[in-house]
Amino acid sequence: MPDVHNWQLGRTMAYPYAEHHPNRQFAFVFNINRCLACQTCSMACKSTWTFSEGQEAMWWNNVETKPYGGYPAHWDVRILDLLDQAHQAAGVQPAWTPTPGDPEAPYGSYQGMTVFEAAAHAKPQAEQVLGWMPGEDDWRTPNVFEDAAPDGRRSPGSLGLASEGVRLPEHVAWFFYLQRLCNHCTYPACLAACPRKAIYKRAEDGVVLIDQSRCRGYRKCVEGCPYKKSLYRPTTRVSEKCVACFPRLEGKDPASDGVPMETRCMASCPGRIRLQGLVPVDPDGTWADDPENPVTYLVRHEQVALPLYPQFGTEPNGYYIPPRWAPRPYLRQMFGPGVDAAIAKYRAPSRQLLAVLQLFRASERVIFKYAIEEGPKVFETEIDGQPWEMYDDTVIGFDAAGKEVVRVRVEEPVHTRPAPRPNSI
């Protein structure tokens, strides 16, 4: 297999195809701390793309409750277990080596095997990608274990309620919502696994698509995607997946004025947890140094948003601000060794970060640049024993044409309703 560079792992890795990168990459940041689990995103996608016969159990976007929930059931535990078996068979320790201050290895260097490298150690036979095939039952209950918390310390007869109060940094009883769609990976495992070469990555935006006319329904992509975001449709006998709402990305939606627009699941989020971008990519695959792009700023500069299971090796382009209250070992397994620094930055955000966080779900247009107008200091306190100040800055977002599309203040404006109708909207 050729060697390719994976910046999330801080090293080169084996991949079945040589490096070839798009000019811009579809990417997104989700702030787990704010999700309501309302499933508006899931329904927005379903009502747009997967409402037809044969797609009944198909959710390109889903929101599951961790640690028990998963769609398909236990998707991450299954692949983590397979990876563990492969590491044990090869006698390899899947550890991260710290690389402080190295911008090309922001989370350290991963010394374990990816799903591509571990495939050679899989039993009973070697494949391009280490994977597994879900059964039909695994897709049937996308939201089972909703709001279920693991808590070994609940007392019998307490109706399942924790008797102690909860305090940061970790709650005794905890769960969190994980919002998932295809990560439009830089090194897609679905693409690597497909024997028909029916899956391709677009040069203009890095979106990963399945050519429905080439697909023969072998389901190797379903088996190979570690995130289980390629799905089989029995009525057409071909596989399907998230298409990143590409007509909206291309500016072909009537409401878009010809510039890229956020996808349906991003634009519908009432929790304002989602920020979608098209980040500029250098020819060698690294993200261009563009700190005025909000997604690039959050991921590469502030490093407050982290990839989901980077150790799988697909270089996923979905990034998450981790939840503050969940056990750190669990979060480090899920988001890598950058978790502690990311949570510390989110707990006491810099002036710039606090302003950029206001851009989440603020416009239906994809924001390519932002600027900050400084405002007065409105609050000060101590966080973790350190002084912290809040400023009522204004963040301005610009679309692909450089047009201002949103202007938000850090401090939310307060509206007082007129006295005759205090409860009316």
Residue spans of beta strands (DSSP E) within 176-326: 176-180, 199-201, 208-210, 230-233, 238-241, 274-280, 306-307, 318-321
Question: 124: which residues sit within 8 A by CB, 6+ positions away?
Answer: none
Q: Pick from 35, 79, 261, 321 the residue near ligand SF4 by CB under 6 A.
A: 35
Q: What is the largest CA-CA distance in the chain?
A: 75
The closest of 392, 399, 331, 259 to 32, measured between CA atoms, is: 331
**What is the nearest approach in angstroms of ligand SF4 to the Cβ of residue 219?**
12
The CA–CA distances, whole Å, from 129 to 114, 119, 302, 407 equal 9, 5, 32, 45
Amino acid at 95: A
**Shortest Cβ distance from residue 158 to ligand SF4 (Å)?**
29
Which is nearest to 395 in space by CA: 421, 357, 424, 368?
357
Listed in sequence order, the DSSP H helices in 113-241 are: 189-193, 220-224
Residues 306-325 touching ligand SF4, rule: CB under 6 A, are 314
By the 10 Å C-beta count (0-12 exposed, 13-18 middle, 19+ buried), 291 is classed as: middle
Q: Is 185 in the site for ligand SF4 (CB under 6 A)?
A: yes
Instruction: Establish if 271 lies at the interface with ligand SF4 (CB under 6 A).
Output: yes
| Least distance in angstroms from the C-beta of 52 to ligand SF4 | 14
Q: Where does this chain touch ligand SF4 (CB under 6 A) — which range of 6-14, 119-127, 160-168, 260-268?
A: 260-268
* Length of the chain counted residue by residue: 425
Residue 42: CB minimum distance to ligand SF4, A: 7
Please give the size of the binding site for ligand SF4, defined by CB under 6 A. 43
DSSP 76: H
Q: Which residues contact 212 (CB under 8 A, 6 or more apart)?
A: 236, 238, 240
Q: How far is the CB of 188 from ligand SF4 (least distance, A)?
A: 4
Kindly tell me which of 256 and 372 has the beta carbon lying closer to ligand SF4. Answer: 256
- Compose the 207-246 pattern: x for residues touching ligand SF4 by CB under 6 A, - for all others: -x----------------x-x-xx----------xxxxx-
Q: Which is nearer to ligand SF4, 106 or 271 (CB)?
A: 271
Question: Does 41 engage in binding with ligand SF4 (CB under 6 A)?
Answer: yes
Quickly count: other Cβ atoms within 10 Å of residue 158's Cβ.
Answer: 10
Binding window for ligand SF4 (CB under 6 A); candidates: 14-22, 96-104, 267-275, 328-336: 267-275
Residue 326 touches ligand SF4, criterion: CB under 6 A:
no
**Interface mask toward ligand SF4 for 142-181; x: CB under 6 A:** -------------------------------------x-x
The yes or no reply on residue 263 touching ligand SF4 (CB under 6 A) is yes
Q: Is 254 helix (H, G, I), strand (E, B) or coil?
A: helix
For the bound state, the minimum distance from the C-beta of residue 16 to ligand SF4, rounded and expressed in Å, comes to: 13
Phi/psi at 236 (5° precision): -100, -15
Report if residue 287 touches ligand SF4, rule: CB under 6 A: no
Prior bond to 226 cis, omega within 30?
no
> Would you give the binding string for ligand SF4 spanning residues 190-209, x where CB under 6 A is met?
x-----------------x-
Choose, by CB under 6 A, the member of 86, 115, 198, 273 that binds ligand SF4: 273
For residue 164, the minimal CB distance to ligand SF4 (Å) is 28
What is the rounded distance in angstroms from the CA atom of residue 314 to the CA atom of residue 298?
20
Cβ nearer to ligand SF4, comparing 45 with 275: 45
Report the distance separating Cα 236 and Cα 245, nearest Å: 21
Residue 261 C-beta: closest distance to ligand SF4, Å? 11
The radius of gyration of the chain's CA atoms, rounded to the nearest angstrom, is 22
Residue 118 interacting with ligand SF4 (CB under 6 A): no
Q: In angstroms, what is the minimal distance from the CB of 18 to ligand SF4?
A: 18
166, 173 Cβ separation under 8 angstroms? yes
Q: Contacts with ligand SF4 in 48-87 (CB under 6 A)?
A: 48-49, 60-61, 63
User: Is 25 a residue that touches ligand SF4 (CB under 6 A)?
Assistant: no
At closest approach, how far in Å is the CB of 403 from ligand SF4? 23
Half-sphere exposure of 357 (CA within 13 A, CB side): 24
**394 three-class SS:** strand
Which residues would be at the binding site for ligand SF4 (CB under 6 A)?
35-41, 44-45, 48-49, 60-61, 63, 179, 181-185, 188-190, 208, 225, 227, 229-230, 241-245, 263-265, 268-271, 273-274, 314
